[in-house]
């Protein structure tokens, strides 16, 4: 088998892609269109060439976290595999591609078909991104038997316990809150309270990334945010990009607005990420992350509990909110019995952690037993894929 593997962590918003000999590229998994250049669709990273990103909208292959729009996905994959992005001849090397948890059978079959028949893969491993994260964690911590991956991405958040590298399906918990919902909510409250930004998902998403944090003491921060501007350490202005002098917005202390257009962000800065901890704040009647972690652990065998609490790993874009890890630690600590040691790992890059796991797994001797080769696929078809891939 070739010493290089093509690894595609195919996220619903961002694809992480690259050869196992290389570092991953982050490629928006969508086609974007801008008001300023109506005739040109921007595929993947081409959006970097767009001069004016106002009124930008996405056409995404994924809906609610599952691959639905295959024409869009095919276009993005063709771009990803082209010289322009991350070229490779998949017939010459193994491919790892990620899929969501509980992926629907027809999507699984379509994945297998498109990779073997369209892209003529030499061999294929379809696996959950959380499975790759688990592998990465155990690779770095060789003596751990269990870990609990909390993957909070664009479409939703999953809590997934792994015991000896195998996910405990009965204990998986999905919270229907992800980065998309947070951005949509921010868009809505800004539009109601100060400026119409309903068509500015791209910019508001950046404002969210640049401004929001996870509160360590929610009601105390609410009191703080009520103070007048001189004494208020939370209120900030977000300077909006104008695409002539400024390409990306930034946060600054409130001042009398000059030429630039700004958004005043106050309790929004922490009330938005708070939805991950209290989905019921926006009417979603589900547990927040810390409660779902404890609930998931309790659904596993009791002897694994101390190991799971010891090895919690936070992945996905939402793990980048400042304060995210500390808040989860504090709440899990207070919700679980005091006999357990709670230890949480926040990787340097929670977005590429799964991809890095793919890189590690591709170098493991067991890897060749995990893939399905093209010859095997041609002989045994989809049935073998169901048997070998656990997605």
Dist. CA 193–CA 189, nearest whole Å: 6
Residue 77: strand, helix, or coil: helix
State yes or no: residue 388 binds another protein (CB under 8 A): no
State yes or no: residue 19 binds another protein (CB under 8 A): no
Q: DSSP character for 118?
A: I
Among 8, 15, 72, 214, binds another protein (CB under 8 A): 72
**Site size toward another protein, by CB under 8 A:** 82
State yes or no: residue 101 binds another protein (CB under 8 A): yes
Q: Between residues 176 and 375, which has the closer beta carbon with respect to another protein?
A: 176
* Residue 106: CB atoms within 10 Å: 8
State yes or no: residue 280 binds another protein (CB under 8 A): yes
End-to-end CA distance of the chain: 24
Of the candidates 190, 280, 267, the one whose C-alpha atom is nearest the C-alpha of residue 225 is: 267
- Judging by beta carbons within 10 Å of its beta carbon (0-12, 13-18, 19+), is residue 10 exposed, middle or buried? buried
State yes or no: residue 75 binds another protein (CB under 8 A): yes
Least separation, in Å, of the C-beta of 201 and another protein?
Answer: 5
- CB contact burial 359-381 (16+ within 10 A = b; e otherwise): bbbbeeeebeebbbbbebbeeee
Among 10, 98, 201, 304, binds another protein (CB under 8 A): 201
Q: Which of residues 151-170 bind another protein (CB under 8 A)?
A: 155, 158-159, 169-170
Dist. CA 367–CA 360, nearest whole Å: 10
Dist. CA 133–CA 153, nearest whole Å: 14
The CA-based diameter of the chain, rounded to the nearest angstrom, is: 72
Q: Between residues 45 and 140, which has the closer beta carbon with respect to another protein?
A: 45
State yes or no: residue 172 binds another protein (CB under 8 A): yes
Q: Which of residues 177-196 bind another protein (CB under 8 A)?
A: 180-181, 184-185, 188-189, 192-193
Q: DSSP character for 117?
A: I
Choose the stretch contacting another protein; rule: CB under 8 A; options: 58-66, 124-132, 143-151, 356-364: 58-66
Binding mask 291-310 for another protein (x = CB under 8 A): xx--x---------------
Least separation, in Å, of the C-beta of 123 and another protein?
Answer: 16
State yes or no: residue 204 binds another protein (CB under 8 A): no
Which helix or strand (DSSP H or E) is residue 222 part of? helix 218-226
Q: What are phi and psi of 127, to 5 degrees?
A: -155, 155
Among 2, 21, 23, 63, binds another protein (CB under 8 A): 63
Binding mask 105-124 for another protein (x = CB under 8 A): xxx--x---x---x-x----
Least separation, in Å, of the C-beta of 258 and another protein?
Answer: 26
State yes or no: residue 209 binds another protein (CB under 8 A): no
Q: Between residues 188 and 349, which has the closer beta carbon with respect to another protein?
A: 188
Instruction: Report the sign of the C-alpha dihedral through residues 78, 79, 82, 88, in that order.
Output: negative
Q: Between residues 189 and 384, which has the closer beta carbon with respect to another protein?
A: 189
Q: Which of residues 318-377 bind another protein (CB under 8 A)?
A: none
Least separation, in Å, of the C-beta of 146 and another protein?
Answer: 18
Least separation, in Å, of the C-beta of 35 and another protein?
Answer: 10
- CB contact burial 123-153 (16+ within 10 A = b; e otherwise): bbbbbbbbbbbbbbbbeeeeeeebbbbbbbb
State yes or no: residue 29 binds another protein (CB under 8 A): no
């Amino acid at each position: 088998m070739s010493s290089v593997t093509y690894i595609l962590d195919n996220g619903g918003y961002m694809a992480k892609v690259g050869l196992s000999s290389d570092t991953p590229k982050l490629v928006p998994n969508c086609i974007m269109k801008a008001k300023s250049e109506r005739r040109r669709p921007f595929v993947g990273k081409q959006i970097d060439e767009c001069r004016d990103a106002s009124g930008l909208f996405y056409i995404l292959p994924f809906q609610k976290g599952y691959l639905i729009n295959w024409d869009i996905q095919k276009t993005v994959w063709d771009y990803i595999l082209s010289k322009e992005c991350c070229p490779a001849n998949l017939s010459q090397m193994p491919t790892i591609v990620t899929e969501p948890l509980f992926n629907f059978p027809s999507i699984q079959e379509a994945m297998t078909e498109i990779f073997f028949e369209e892209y003529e893969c030499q061999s294929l491993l379809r696996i959950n991104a959380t499975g790759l994260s688990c592998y990465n964690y155990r690779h770095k911590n060789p003596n751990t038997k269990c870990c609990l991956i909390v993957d909070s991405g664009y479409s939703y958040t999953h809590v997934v316990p792994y015991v000896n590298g195998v996910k405990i399906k009965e204990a998986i918990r999905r919270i229907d809150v992800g980065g998309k919902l947070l951005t949509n909510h921010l868009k809505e409250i800004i539009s109601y309270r100060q400026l119409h930004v309903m068509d500015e998902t791209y910019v508001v998403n950046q404002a969210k990334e640049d401004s929001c944090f996870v509160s360590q003491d929610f009601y105390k921060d609410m009191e703080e945010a009520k103070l007048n501007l001189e004494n208020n350490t939370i209120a900030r202005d977000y300077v909006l990009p104008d695409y002539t002098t400024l390409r990306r917005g930034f946060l600054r202390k409130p001042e009398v607005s000059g030429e630039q257009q700004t958004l005043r962000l106050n309790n929004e800065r922490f009330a938005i990420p708070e939805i991950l901890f209290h989905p019921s704040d926006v009417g979603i009647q589900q547990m927040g992350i810390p409660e779902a972690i404890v609930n998931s652990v309790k659904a596993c065998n009791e002897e694994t509990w101390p190991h799971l609490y010891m090895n919690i790993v936070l992945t996905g874009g939402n793990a980048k909110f400042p304060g995210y890890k500390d808040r989860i630690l504090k709440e899990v600590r207070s919700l679980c019995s005091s006999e357990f040691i709670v230890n949480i790992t926040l990787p340097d890059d929670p977005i590429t952690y799964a991809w890095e796991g793919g890189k590690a797994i591709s170098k493991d001797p067991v890897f060749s037993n995990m893939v399905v080769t093209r010859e095997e696929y041609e002989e045994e078809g989809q049935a073998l894929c169901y048997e070998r891939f656990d997605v």
